Amino acid sequence: MPALAIVAGAGRLPAEIAAEAAGRGEAVVILPLKGFADADFKGYAQYPVSLIDPKGVLLELARAGAGRVILAGAVHRPGLGMVRSGIQAVRHLEEIRNVLEGGDDNLLRGVIVFLEKHGYAVVGVRDVAPSLMAPTGTLGHLSPGSAELEGIAIGRRALAAMGRAISGKVWWWRKSACWPSKPPRVRTI
């Protein structure tokens, strides 16, 4: 079975995912992102990669025998200047520029599409380390009352409406205010 490749940013999450997947007998390889990954991955095959070298990432995934990929850990968004400094990025500059111009969601979706386009299944924590997911339901001793549940429902509807309004829009700054390229239609929720 092909290995699970963990593209590792900063923090403990990549190592926790690796431990759970390996504990179930799954072959795990780590692609620590240079300058970001800071966990101890001793005991795992490691293939360090640069965030600004998509071709290098693909080569290391192939060399590692990966079939599935999970992106885990903190990573700071690179500026276009940093991307241009990477010689391998030149071949993918237009694709990278398009991905970087959107918001964080656009960046993450772009990385996922890039990996899937090259034959890798991108999976989430729920798929490979379900014990790391928060359980459904109340996590503390207090439960929300009816007023709090109503507020939660309103918040969820507001987030859904905002997500639809700003999805794919280009943001610009004017007189210290941030607006999408086309103002969203305001609806009462």
Residue 41's nearest CA partner among 11, 69, 77 is: 11
pTM above 0.75, yes or no: no
Q: What is the mean pLDDT of residues 2-9?
A: 96
- How much is the pLDDT for 176? 42
- Single-letter amino acid, residue 43: G
pLDDT computed for residue 172 by the predictor: 41
Rounded Cα–Cα distance for residues 166 and 159 (Å): 11
What average pLDDT does this structure show over 1-10?
A: 94
Q: Residue 130: is it exposed, middle or buried by C-beta count within 10 angstroms (0-12/13-18/19+)? A: exposed
Per the structure block, which two tokens stand in for 60? 């290391």
Asked if the model's pLDDT at residue 105 lies above 80, the reply is no
More confidently predicted of 160 and 46: 46
CATH architecture for the domain at 3-130: 3-Layer(aba) Sandwich (3.40)
For residues 7 and 71, is the Cβ–Cβ distance under 8 A? yes
Cβ atoms 97, 107 nearer than 8 A: no
